[in-house]
Amino acid sequence: MTTQQIKYFLTLATELHFWRAAEKVFISQSTLSRQIQSLEDEMGIQLFKRDKRNVKLTDAGKFLKEKWTVTINELDHIHKQAKKIDQGTTGLISLSYPGSIAFSFLPLFLNKINASLPDLKLELTEPIDENHEKLLLNYDTDIAFNRDAIENIHLANYKLYTEPICLVVSEKHWLTAKSMQDFKSLHDEKFIISGLHRTSYFPSLLRSLFQKNGFEPKTIIESDFGGMIINLVAQGLGISILPLSYKYSNAKGVRFIELNETISLYMNWRKNDPNKITQRVIKIAKEMNNPYT
């Protein structure tokens, strides 16, 4: 029995069609059939019931599909990590990050890495906040920058810095740092913000801010993409609330007004990660200064 045979089995167990399964694993239908028959003969177990029209899993096949799916995923994770350990300083490291740091902290950080580890290849991913933890645990990312610390017994975290959050308005809007009396005066404004029903950190912070000031925002557009939000605000469609980081996108037609609220940036990674590159990159990040002081 080989790992490849198990992968052939799992593909057929999902497709339940020899021709489609063979296409997915890039072999001929007859080769796939021989591999499955060889696996059944070696194990002494019938994995599929098949006739001229149908392919179905036996009960033993269903059991092995469930168990082997977990096993193959674990082997893939181990393989990914072993490759990174073996590659040393000329290897690959994957980073995930929120879009807000793309204009300030992230470029500075990448410059520092390039200066210290010029042969290191970087892979950047900008997922939605809920996905950072999953990416780390699946070994699809090595370091996740996130707006809150990911609480998981297998992960470690470090707070890098804190920055203000800002009201973002069109330059033609009546609101300025001087004219704004308090947050409650915004109750009649139209907002373009993240969906407050979401449980990730920034929407939760916004929800708390509005609750503290005793009103529900008149949200006309929901979006998690800061660049899009800024463009819509510049067109006068509404106002928004974003981290100060977005000010460094050099967007035209908008004004940032700092609020008496802050948000932090955390770095999260797997505990006891043996990859020396990961540890070196973590050290570089810890040594960086707060870009907003």
Q: Kindly list the distances between the CA atom of residue 269 and the CA atoms of 46, 126, 132, 141, 148, in Å, as whole numbers in the listed order.
A: 43, 16, 10, 9, 13
pLDDT digits (tens, 9 = 90+) for 50-91: 877 788 999 898 999 999 988 888 888 878 777 766 655 557
Q: At what angle do helices 3-15 and 59-87 cross, to 10 degrees?
A: 130
Q: Kindly list the distances between the CA atom of residue 34 and the CA atoms of 3, 5, 28, 41, 276, in Å, as whole numbers in the listed order.
A: 15, 10, 10, 10, 43
HSE of 25, CA atoms in CB hemisphere, 13 A: 25
Tell me if the pTM is above 0.75.
no
Give the architecture (CATH level 2) of 3-86.
Orthogonal Bundle (1.10)
Does 129 have pLDDT greater than 80?
A: no
162-263 shares the fold of 87-160+266-286 = yes
Pairing relationship of beta strands 155-170 and 254-270 according to DSSP bridges: antiparallel
Compute the radius of gyration of the chain from its Cα atoms. 26
Does 166 have pLDDT greater than 90?
A: yes
Pick the CATH number of 87-160+266-286 from 3.30.70.1560, 3.30.428.10, 3.40.50.410, 3.40.190.10: 3.40.190.10
Mean pLDDT for the chain? Answer: 88
Q: Look-up: residue for tokens 């967007």?
A: 251
Superfamily of domain 162-263: Periplasmic binding protein-like II (3.40.190.10)
Which whole number is the average pLDDT over 145-159?
Answer: 93
Pairing relationship of beta strands 190-193 and 218-222 according to DSSP bridges: parallel
Among 239, 251, 254, which Cα is nearest to 206's?
A: 239
Burial 2-29 (b: 16+ CB within 10 A, else e): eeeebbbbbbbbebeebeebbeebebee
Domains of the chain, residue spans: 3-86, 87-160+266-286, 162-263
Among 162, 125, 3, 136, which Cα is nearest to 71's?
A: 3
Strand order of the sheet with strand 92-96?
121-125, 92-96, 143-146, 254-270, 155-170, 240-243
Query: What is the reported pLDDT for 88?
Result: 55
Among 63, 65, 85, 83, which Cα is nearest to 73's?
A: 65
Within 10 A of 108 (CB to CB), how many other CB atoms are there? Answer: 12
Q: What percentage of the chain has pLDDT greater than the value 90?
A: 44
Query: What is the reported pLDDT for 82?
Result: 73
Query: What is the reported pLDDT for 121?
Result: 86
pLDDT digits (tens, 9 = 90+) for 47-61: 999 877 788 999 898
> Where does the pLDDT of residue 178 fall: very low under 50, low under 70, confident under 90, or very high at 90 and above?
confident
The values of phi and psi at residue 82, to 5°, are -60, -40
Measured at the CA of 159, the angle between CA 158 and CA 163, to 5 degrees, comes to: 165
Helix (H) or strand (E) holding 163: strand 155-170
Distance, CA of 160 to CA of 286 (rounded, Å): 7
Q: What percentage of the chain has pLDDT greater than the value 70?
A: 96
Within 10 A of 40 (CB to CB), how many other CB atoms are there? Answer: 17
Burial 113-140 (b: 16+ CB within 10 A, else e): beeebeebeeeeeebebebbbebbeebb
